[in-house]
Amino acid sequence: MTPNTLEAYRLFHKGIEAFALAERQGIRIDVDYYEQKIEKLQKRIERLEKKFYNTNFFKHWQHTTKSKVNINSDTQLRRYLYGVKKIEPIYATESGEGSTDEKALKQLQIPEIDDLLRIRKLKKIKSTYLEGFLRESVNGYIHPSFDLHWVRTYRGSSRNPNFQNIPKRDKEAMQICRKGLYPRPGHRLLEIDFSKLEVSIAACYHKDPMMLKYLTSDSSDMHGDMAQQIFKIKKLDKSKPSHNTLRAAAKNGFVFPQFYGDYYGNNALSLACDWGKLPNGRWKGGQGIELENNHLSDHLIKHGIKSIKSFIEFMKEVEKDFWYNRFPTYQEWKEKWWKYYQKNGYIDMLTGFRCKGVMSRNDCINYPVQGAAFHCLLWSFIKLTEIMVEEKWETKLIGQIHDAIVFDAHPDELDYILKVVKKVTTQELPEQWKWIIVPLSVDADIGEIDGSWAEMKNLDF
C-alpha cells in the first residue's frame, strides 16, 4: 500500500505536516464539565441498574447462572437468551453466534431489555467519550492524532481520542459529548463540510449522464425521485414532513446502501423494519408513518404490495430499474472496474494512489471513490493550512472528519476565512484536479463566541 505517483506521495507528505500543526493546536475542553457529567451519568447508570436487578427477567437470569451475572456481558446475555430460554435469535453475528445488538434485542420485545439497552447507551457515552476525553486532555486541550498510514482506501484516521466518531445524530448523546468541546477563549468553532462529496467523486469516475444531471441541476432530486418510486407517491412534496421522512428513508435505506454495494433484499427488510412491520415477516395495515389519513403500510397494500415478500420482489425491480435504466453508465463502470482488477490485480485512483491485495467486488467499487473523495478534503486542508501560516491567522485548523474541516476561528477573521475556504474548495481544487467534472459545494456550521460544539448553527455563505 503506497502512493503510486510522486503527486500522491507529495499530497500525503504535506498532509502529514498540515495535520501535525492541527494536532499541536488541539481542541479546548471543559475538564470540570466532563468530570461532573461523568459523576451524574454514573449515578443515573446505578439507578437504572438497581431497577433492572429488581426485574423478574434479571432474577431468572441470575437464578439460572452459577456465578454472579455481569449485565454488561453480551456473552452471558447470549447464553441466557438463546441457551437457557431457548429463544430463536433474530439473526447471527459474523461468527455465527446469536446477535445481541440493539436491533436484534428490540425485536425480542422483552420490556426489561429496554432498561439494559439504556444502560448500554449511557455506559458507551461515559467510557468511550467522556472518560476518553479526560484521559487524553493536557492543560485543558485534547490532541487527537490524524494519521494517513492505516486505511486501505487511503483515507485518514484519528485516534487518542478518535475525533471522527463523536455522537451527532442521537441528540442526547450529542449534547452530552460535545458540550465540553470548545474553541479557544473569545473564538468560535467553525465546521466546513463538502456536500454529497462521495457521490460527486464517484461521478468523476463513471461519468454517468443521468448522475451528472442530478449533480448539476438544482431542480432535480435523486432521493426525492427514488422516494416517489419506492413508496408509490405521485409527487414528492418537500413541505410535508411525512414526505421528507420518506425521502430520508429512500436515501438511507436504498440509495446509499446501493452505492456501497448492498442489494434489494437487505434494503427491503431494513426499510420494512424501520416502519415496524417485522418480526415474522407479517405485513399488517395501520403501521408506519401517516400519509393523508393513511398509514404507509395501508398505502402500499392499496397499491398491490400486500406482503413483505411482495415488497422484496418490488424492491428487486426498483434495483434493476435503478442500475439498468436510471444509471446504466454507472453500472457499466462498476463491471469494467471489477474486471480490470481481476485481470491486473490492482486499481488506480484519480489521485494517483494504487489499491492492491485481495479485494472484493464491492471493495473495487468503493475504495477509489472513498479515497479520492477524502483527498479532496486533504488537498483543501493543506492549502488552507499553508495560507493560515503564510498570513499568520489567529484562526486555526484543528481537526478533520473525512469530508469536513473543523476550525477554531477568530471572530474578526470569520468573514475572510469563509471567503478563502469557498475559493479553495470550490474553485482552486477543481482547477488543480481537472478530473473533477462536477461542481463542488460546501456547507458551514458555526458556533457562538465561546460556544461549545453542541450548539452549532447552519451558516449561509
Write out the residues near DNA by the rule CB under 7 A.
70, 72-76, 78, 93-97, 99-104, 117, 120-121, 123-124, 127-128, 131-132, 135, 147, 150-153, 155, 157-162, 164-170, 173-174, 256-257, 260-263, 265-266, 270, 360-363, 366-367, 370, 401-404
**Minimum distance, C-beta of residue 96 to DNA, in the bound complex (Å):** 7
CB of 293 to DNA, least distance (A): 31
The answer to whether the beta carbons of residues 314 and 305 sit under 8 Å apart is yes
Q: How far is the CB of 338 from DNA (least distance, A)?
A: 8
Strand, helix or coil at 81?
helix
Q: Is the dihedral of CA 449, 450, 451, 452 positive or negative?
A: positive
Provide the 10 A C-beta neighbour count for residue 300: 25
Q: Which three cell numbers stand for residue 407?
A: 476550525
C-beta of 360: minimal distance to DNA in Å?
A: 5
74 or 298: CB nearest DNA:
74
**How many C-beta neighbours within 10 Å does residue 443 have?**
15
Q: 3-state class of 249 per DSSP?
A: helix
Give the DSSP letter string of 206-224. H--HHHHHHHH-SS--HHH
* Minimum CB–partner distance for residue 244 and DNA (Å): 18
For the CB of residue 362, give the shortest distance to DNA in the complex, in Å.
4
Nearer to DNA, 95 or 109 (CB): 95
In sequence order, which ranges of 327-393 are alpha helices (DSSP H)? 328-344, 361-390
Return the C-alpha cell found at 246. 420518506
Taking the least distance from each CB to DNA, the nearer of 165 and 419 is: 165
Query: Min. distance of Cβ 267 from DNA in angstroms?
Result: 8
Q: Which is closer to DNA, CB of 67 or CB of 239? A: 67
**Cβ contact 349:363 at 8 Å:** no
For DNA, which is the closer residue by CB, 70 or 213? 70
Nearest residue (CB) to DNA, 94 versus 431: 94
Distance of closest approach, residue 254 Cβ to DNA, in angstroms? 9
The separation between the first and the last C-alpha atoms of the chain, rounded to the nearest angstrom, is 39
φ and ψ of 398, to 5 deg: -120, -10
* 283 in Cβ contact with 311 (< 8 Å): yes
Residue 431 burial by CB count (10 A; 0-12/13-18/19+): exposed, middle or buried? Answer: exposed
The least distance separating DNA from the CB of residue 390, rounded to whole angstroms, comes to 28
Closer of 230 and 291 to DNA (Cβ) = 230
Q: Give buried/exposed letters for 17-36 (b at 16+ CB in 10 A, else e).
A: ebbeebbebbbbbbeebbee
DSSP track, 162-209:
-TT----SSHHHHHHHHTTEEPSTT-EEEEEEETTHHHHHHHHHH--H
Report the DSSP beta bridge partners of residue 188: 409
Task: List the Cα angle 316/101/131 in 5-degree steps.
Answer: 130
- Based on CB atoms, which residue is closest to DNA, 99 or 287? 99
* Nearer to DNA among residue 53 and residue 260 (C-beta): 260
Q: Is the peptide bond before 209 cis (omega within 30 degrees of 0)?
A: no
> Which residue, 100 or 395, is less far from DNA as judged by CB?
100
Cα separation, 401 vs 446, in Å, equals: 16
Residue 151 or 301: which CB sits closer to DNA?
A: 151
- Least CB distance to DNA at residue 200 (A): 13
Beta strands 181-182 and 27-29 are antiparallel
Taking the complex as a whole, the smallest distance from the CB of residue 155 to DNA amounts, in Å, to 6
